[in-house]
Structure 1
């Protein structure tokens, strides 16, 4: 099955350089060889159909036209041994703790700026910094980050690195569940031989974390999930989470504010709402406080939040902590707030508003990756080694015009794993989005969303750019059954 498969020059999740499986993949590898080519093809097609039948789709926008697509699924799982997972877990808790301290600080004392650890302009000029709206507000648990999605990669030596932090509205938990569900349906044989950490209690932890944010004096809080509606690319995610947690799924028009208290309109009259898990961006939350042309939000919501009558999760203004320019400083935040060294490092990153770093980068554009600090989903990004001369020159102009808007990173030899799309096994680049749930306690979702760049040779794992998903197995201590 793997005769034409090339491991080098990358780190492969499943295979050693010799082409033999790694210890924690040995059982899986052996079982794989019990299937005939026809059986594998049939199982692959059954898996894709399962996603289609369940309506698991996301929307890709091109030239303002949205197309519904199913998330391509690949059945070779990413298997993480317990000792690796322990390091990831500790690293994720540490990182989100420091990021939360930073958010609390910049919206209150701003000590980190006064101490010269982070340049003031990086905070005050940030388009996602909403000082005017939320400076000095008391929020439940002082917690700005109820749910974080931290993207990890591995380099050519297999070392885990953080690629980016998502602290606004990280999506993808529903896909983690669906990947596991389809995997158990189509390939039940694998689970008989492996003891994998289950996902069963994770939604309960998520629900508890939401309820932990009840405003002061509220004993039986009512929480809702606020969605922009069916045209949002992550709408499936919203529906899934609301159903699993037993939350009412609402749009802005279903809510109203009276006397700084939020109510949900129901056929039985108005019902008070205490916690809003919102999947709407800050700008659209309240037309009176942010964009007045927003039809998705609720008039007066910000004032109800400021008065402490409703909790909004994730916190308003989190974007100041997760853009790609601030990312450079997260290791410094960990040292500053927690007095610890980072457990999981950043990817080496160059700030292009620094003239010296900028000159160095401009000479090496064909070797580097350049990203817009405010963009996501793989948009406005240059992958130097795969770019044409024309694209490189276009980005050179963009950097010179707006140096603070871009960062550069080395082209990392992202780790790869085998993918099978109905014909043969070939190596594809992968990353892992780890979900951290924070309430009175912090839980790290065991595994997360493994995303895979299914186009041969591609480095971009985003589903909007042709990427797919894999199931992620965190092995229990004691390993295999």
Structure 2
């Protein structure tokens, strides 16, 4: 980046993409005026110095994530870009309502399919859609958890197309991750641009861990002001271990592994301590269903707690997210969420889905196979950007392989148009340049529903790339919800 040069926004070109900060060359969006004016006056040398200060703070604070490479666990510093992404409060209020609507319908769907299955009887969703899902748990049939909520924590990924319209790209209801990085991104940005937070109406995100604690407390089998809450982690080698320890510390909860817990003869869950066994009321579990209870799921699991499902079903412990909630994490079931909203809530979806082709449908499959070079193809239950085909960036060999996989197991694949994802100014080697991004807000549901003011903005740091996952070279930004009226 050239030194001692003020930023001229007239030279910044987002091309034909929707830019989150700049409406047109030299014209910032109203909600972004404060940050664009500030950066314009700061100069490139000072911006670069503040980026370096942020990167140093990340190392000092130990903000990291783990990637798996060639059989090794590699800790890397969290990739962070200091230029925030800005959304107006007026637009955000509509998004917030849409996210709350969506999670409410998803929880009603999960409860329905594990009980009466009315949505199948009324022929809104075919039974094979969930019966063939690898995350449908027969062990959860005939049960309703406290408050009727299965997915207490959801991270739905949002994207914006070139026309400015926001879509839900996918829902994450098993063990959604990333919220700690959203919180750390805010702290880093406050350190880098403290004066901007003094003079602008940027909605806070700091109350998330208090909201998380209150939500978890609401599903405790023993109503009290301070139930004992534990965060169940697979251990230090898990890619999200930083987040597990971060959230436990912020909530004042216990950070435990499976071996630290035991289910007693009374079906209550106890934590081993130096002073003996102490009862645990609620477990925020960060391990997949398969490993949760070796008596019910994988018998070879050493990560879970024998008898935990029995304790949960008998109402002796709260589990978030509930076992079986991941059935709605399936990308085939995602295609039916608008129908769920209409069926359960008698409302139109506030935030639309991305148009989706289901390869299990013969007509859809034929279209997908004929247009592999144009579409994004995703497996139903992968996460982290793995196992997918980005048609416009693929080779003929890759498309041939995906055609084979789709024909072999059509239920496992969906396809979507390749969206022209929105961009935002990002600090790159060549200066400020547009990079594609998405947004993962976090929604909590217990006695009430809470939506974070913004979320984790993930950025594809490589020019032209649409892959935002940190495990595959993506970065992140702070997300500002700005009240333009103040």
Provide the secondary structure at the position in 2 that maps to 1:148: strand
How far residue 90 of structure 1 moved from its aligned partner, in angstroms, is: 0.3
2:281 equivalent among 267, 274, 295? 274
Query: Does residue 365 of structure 1 match 2:381?
Result: no
Moved more, 453-462 or 328-337: 453-462
CA distance in 2, matches of 1:221, 1:25: 42
Contact between 1:167 and 1:321, CA under 8 Å: does it hold in 2? Answer: yes
CA distance in 1, matches of 2:86, 2:225: 41
2:166 equivalent among 157, 160, 168? 160
Task: Structure 1: state its 5+ residue gaps.
Answer: none
The total of aligned residue pairs comes to 478
1:295 counterpart residue number:
302
2:390 counterpart residue number:
383
How far residue 63 of structure 1 moved from its aligned partner, in angstroms, is: 2.8
Provide the secondary structure at the position in 2 that maps to 1:33: helix
CA distance in 1, matches of 2:372, 2:481: 38
How far residue 4 of structure 1 moved from its aligned partner, in angstroms, is: 4.8
CA distance in 2, matches of 1:217, 1:242: 20
Summarize the alignment of residues 284-433 of structure 1 with structure 2, pairs less than 5 Å apart. 284-421=291-428, 423-433=430-440
Task: Structure 2: state its 5+ residue gaps.
Answer: 1-6
Contact between 1:81 and 1:475, CA under 8 Å: does it hold in 2? Answer: yes
CA distance in 1, matches of 2:432, 2:142: 54
Alpha-carbon displacement from aligned partner over 1:265-324 (angstroms, at most 9, x marks no partner): 011110111111100110101111100111101111111111111111101011111111
Provide the secondary structure at the position in 1 that maps to 2:441: strand
Question: TM (normalized to structure 2)?
Answer: 0.96
How far residue 423 of structure 1 moved from its aligned partner, in angstroms, is: 4.6
Alpha-carbon displacement from aligned partner over 1:345-392 (angstroms, at most 9, x marks no partner): 000000001111111111111011100111110101110101111111
1:58 counterpart residue number:
65
CA distance in 2, matches of 1:19, 1:45: 26
Alpha-carbon displacement from aligned partner over 1:248-267 (angstroms, at most 9, x marks no partner): 11110110011111100011
1:200 counterpart residue number:
206
Question: TM (normalized to structure 1)?
Answer: 0.97
Q: Could you say what the CA RMSD is over the residues aligned between the two structures, in angstroms?
A: 1.4
Moved more, 13-22 or 279-288: 13-22
CA distance in 1, matches of 2:225, 2:62: 37
Query: Does residue 23 of structure 1 match 2:30?
Result: yes
Query: Does residue 233 of structure 1 match 2:239?
Result: yes
Provide the secondary structure at the position in 1 that maps to 2:170: strand
How far residue 190 of structure 1 moved from its aligned partner, in angstroms, is: 2.2
1:441 equivalent among 443, 448, 468? 448
Contact between 1:40 and 1:422, CA under 8 Å: does it hold in 2? Answer: no
1:250 counterpart residue number:
256
Provide the secondary structure at the position in 2 that maps to 1:276: strand
Provide the secondary structure at the position in 1 that maps to 2:93: helix
Moved more, 168-177 or 191-200: 191-200
CA distance in 1, matches of 2:382, 2:46: 42
How far residue 333 of structure 1 moved from its aligned partner, in angstroms, is: 0.2
Distance verdict in 2 for CA 1:58–1:448, change over 3 Å: same
CA distance in 2, matches of 1:212, 1:312: 11
Contact between 1:56 and 1:71, CA under 8 Å: does it hold in 2? Answer: yes
Moved more, 26-35 or 172-181: 26-35
Alpha-carbon displacement from aligned partner over 1:177-221 (angstroms, at most 9, x marks no partner): 111111111121322331111123222111100000012667753
Contact between 2:90 and 2:483, CA under 8 Å: does it hold in 1? Answer: no
